[in-house]
Structure 1
Amino acid sequence: MIKIFQKITLLSALLLTLGFTACDEYLGVIPKGEKIPETLADFEAMIRYEYGNHRVDVNQALILLNDQWVSPSSLSYYPLYEANYFWDESADRVALNNSDETTYYASYSAINAFNLIISNALTSTEASESEQKEVWAQAKVLRAMTYFNLVNYYADTYEAATASEKLSVPLITSADVNAAYTQVTIQEMYDFILTDMEEALPYLPEVAATVLHPNLGTAYAFYARVYLQMNNYDKALEFANKALDESDVLFDWTTYYEANKDLITNPDSYIRTASPMGFDYIENYSYRHGSTYYSSSEKSLTTERAASFEEGDARFLSRWKLRTVGADTYYYGTLQGYFNYGGITTVEVYLIKAECLARSGDVNGAMEVLNAVRKTRILPEEYSDLTAANTAGAMAKIIQTKRNELILTLTPFCDIRRLNQEGTYSITLSKVVDGETLTLSPESHMWTMPFPQGAIDNPGNGSMVQNVEK
């Protein structure tokens, strides 16, 4: 863990020197000059530091899912990309993962900042007690969200029967350099996440200062995500309903498509249109960056992945267009701007609710929720209500819709791991490459990502064990 703390120390020094200046005018943080953080505004500015503390880089999960197209040059240059993209179970990903460290170190740098807020916000100056508790609570939610991402990336998925036996990730609650830590079990990590949320909930506002600051809707939506991952469908449904009571707005992609149709459908144009999925996306409960953290275009999709979207899906049609460049044919990302790949949106909560209703036996209710989402996505000339005769039929439609809606985020990776562990709705990925059929089975060890070698080689004031052999 020495390497973690070296990176965190550098980040902390930069934050203090720059006065926690954010890089985007949207958030409007004013530089304060060189100073030691004392006021609540000093600590709250760390929440606004979006590029350092709100980055959810899960690139290898996206590659494993084949949720993005990877160029032949990248595959040949990065052996870890190639191993995950082609589901090479013989590859030693532990040995190959000696440089792909962003997921790990960016997450722990953010956790360090949240730990610093949690340790000091309640005694900070120039603020009322209620203001102190609000920032303290928001840091707790963000820490819980970051640990959830880590445990669902580097550890096996949650299973009640084994969660107390299997290790997860290092649990660090102090911002002190070289603080002692423990690599806790999966159950201990989930208990910690739920405790953070329970302690934070009473002090969260209904409306927060920015979309980076968690509010009640954020907390309820995240609770729903956590309980779904734990297979606790009653609690997931309870919190999904609470989140939707706070905000249930869906973006109408059919309207967006019609407004940009001439450009979208022009076969000779690859000019990008503005992304609506940035800071002010109406579906946002919270905003966090994905693998990229600056204004950019979306990742391209493979033709196989694109084929899984519904006919007339305006959200898909507005985001990707078939393109051939030399020997490569793929679906080119046609939006430019910011994308909420790491936060939580209303559509995810709708689909959590749909799954929970289906599992409870309310198939009609589940399909009603699913169709409420689809009406804002599927072009009117292609739309018809989906129906299901039973839970299995409803689940198949909900699972596929959710995979498409949350593409390029960590959620599909979490969902497939969860479904595979359960066994009832397991998913085997397959594709044909050069005439050979490749598959990724539900039992594959590749569903757990290896820790970076640097973290294992430099454990610092604790000890770490790899969670996967290769």
Structure 2
Amino acid sequence: MKFKYLLFVLILTSFAGCKNYLDIVPKGQLIPNTVEDYENMLNEITVASYSDYFLDLLTDDAFLPEGQPHGLFQKQKLNGRRIYTFNKNVFDEGENDFLWSETYKRIFYFNTVINNIMDAKDGEENYKRSVKAEGLFGRALEHLLMVNVYARHYDASTAATDPGVPLVMIADISAKHRRNTVKEVYAQIILDLEEAIKWLPEKSKIHKFRSNKAAGYALLSRVYLYMGEYGKALENANQSLALYSTLADMNNYKVIIPGPPPFPYVPGAPIGWTDIPDGQYHPETLTSRHFLRPFGLGMDVCASPELTALFTNDDRRWTFYYANGWPPAPPFNYMAIAGVKIYLRGDFFNNALSTPEVYLTRAECKVRANDKQGALDDVNKLRKNRINPAVYKVFTLADFDNDQEKILRFVLEERRRELAFTGNRIPDLKRLNKDPRFRKVIKHVAEGKEYTLQPNSDDYLRQIWPAASKFNPDWILN
């Protein structure tokens, strides 16, 4: 990451002697009081990270080959092995669930801006509202992540009683919280985004880790997609793409350094060897974030046989983001041994919001509304920027017998190809499991034992972090 981080955090007088109910401890040196102070908090390194790359180990995209010398299951830490084998008790007491602690730390930063900037001693009111809007956007992004990891998927018939996650609305770590319901969490996310969109800037300030109006509509579209409100998801996807719709032609990218000998079977993209821009510079980025480990699961997971089967060698995503083998010395050819590729995406890629997701959301909503041609138009446009032009094909209704469900499945497959290992697969699996047509049992094998994850199982839910739940014995555990 190449922008200048402004280390700007705060101290609260209530820290001394108080209980920290979420078990987060933001660092502190300075109390902000000007608009510039608050805005600088949005440039701090803490708020540039997002999500947890471990999440994808739970999904049907992940495959961890075993055995020596380069078994990937054995390479994982205990937490990763637990996720891969569908054990929701990922962390023991005394261990840090970084997803929980870092997410609520970021929410603390956003709340400091939201709660206080309008009382700053300087600055135009509209400018203050613009900065506050970015805080609201960030808080909504984080709460949506948390409710989709630690709670059941949104279901209108049960959301009012399903335990969600704590809605944290004030920058006070001594405040006592409860597990708000899934319905309450989603309602607050929508309120935050609706208010944010009114004041978000048309273009991100300074760098793409900051937010903008197109990203606000894109996130609201994601929220409604998760809720199954496809008409509203479509409306907001349209609004987002009307403001920013750029797609980058991956045929224009290239491998800039070939695989080193003895590495002849690497087709493309070991770490950093392509000219694909990092997320903060990528033309498709709406709002940029990256995992705490910027390469995500790169070098640590293979595409599952099922995911592998969805790609062709003419797909630039397959040749740039995956390789037959790794590491270079001694080389280990996963394709030869298991018929899969190892994930080796080398750019500091964006795992927050980009235009391809918005196109795919719009395509899904269109086909669900029986706009089959409109859906294919969006997917064809995306694929034209992903597939070798020598073999690129424009798909027509006739290719799917003009069948709505076949086109919907095609759209969902494209979504899976595009968003693999970016943290989006779990909420997609959870929402699609609500539809009998798309329910699936996921199977992982480790150390000679088969593990299964059933549709709609509570094993999708990560257990509340013990360090937080011990301060809140009234919380219902997953």
TM range (shorter): 0.7 to 0.9
Superposed CA deviations along residues 375-404 of structure 1, whole A, max 9, x for unmatched, are 100112332123422121011111111112
**1:24 corresponds to which residue?**
none
1:358 lines up with 2:367 in the alignment: yes
TM-score normalised by structure 1 residue count: 0.84
1:27 aligns to what? none
Alignment of 1:236 onto 2:233: yes
SS of 1:371's equivalent? helix
Pair 1:430–1:36, CA change in 2 (3 A): closer
Q: Unaligned 5+ residue runs, structure 2? A: 1-17, 65-69, 335-339
Match of 1:20 in 2: none
CA distance in 2, matches of 1:193, 1:449: 21
Task: Determine if contact 2:152/2:458 at 8 Å carries over to the other structure.
Answer: no
The equivalent of 2:203 in structure 1 is 207
CA drift at 1:410: 2.3
Aligned runs of 1:162-311 on 2, under 5 Å?
162-209=158-205, 210-256=207-253, 259-260=254-255, 263=258, 267=264, 270=270, 272-293=273-294, 300-302=301-303, 304=305, 305-311=307-313
Query: Structure 1 residue 316 and structure 2 residue 326: aligned?
Result: no
Separation in 2, partners of 1:439, 1:311:
30
3-state SS, counterpart of residue 107 of structure 1 = helix
1:276-425 matched pairs, under 5 angstroms: 276-293=277-294, 300-302=301-303, 304=305, 305-323=307-325, 329=334, 331-341=341-351, 343-386=352-395, 387-388=399-400, 389-425=402-438
Do 2:163 and 2:182's aligned partners in 1 also have CA atoms closer than 8 Å? yes
1:54 aligns with 2:48: yes
CA distance in 1, matches of 2:108, 2:287: 20
Q: How far is the alpha carbon of 1:432 from its aligned partner? A: 6.3
Alpha-carbon spacing, 1:314–1:120, altered in 2? closer, same or farther (3 Å): same
- For the aligned residues, what is the CA RMSD? 2.9
| DSSP-derived class of the 2:149 partner | helix
Identical pairs, percent:
26
Match of 1:464 among 449, 471, 475: 475
User: Which digits, 9 at most, give the CA deviation of each residue in 1:165-218, with x for residues without a partner?
Assistant: 111001111112311322110001111111111222211111120212221101
Q: 1:432 to 1:155 in 2, by over 3 A?
A: closer
**Paired position in structure 2 for 1:28:** none
Q: How far 1:40 sits from its partner (Å)? A: 0.8
Q: Aligned residue for 1:86?
A: 85
Report the structure, 1 or 2, having the larger strand content: 1
Q: TM-score, normalised by structure 2?
A: 0.83
Structure 2 CA distance for partners of 1:422 and 1:334, relative to 1, 3 Å: closer
Q: Compared with structure 1, are the counterparts of its residues 232 and 354 closer, same or farther at alpha carbon in structure 2 (3 Å cutoff)?
A: same
Relative to structure 1, the CA distance from residue 281 to residue 453 in structure 2 (aligned partners, 3 Å threshold; closer, same or farther) is same
- Shift, 1:97, TM fit: 7.5
Give the partner amino acid of 1:166: D
Cα contact 1:420–1:427 (8 A) shared by 2: yes
Give the match for residue 22 of structure 1.
none
Please list the CA deviations of residues 425-463 of structure 1 after superposition, one character each: whole Å capped at 9, or x if unmatched.
22333466788765433133221111111111123xx84
Which of 118, 121, 129 is the aligned partner of 1:125? 121
Q: What is the CA-CA distance between 1:290 and the residue it aligns to?
A: 1.8
Question: What amino acid sits opposite 2:34 in the alignment?
Answer: T
Q: Name the counterpart of 2:36.
A: 41
Aligned residues: 436
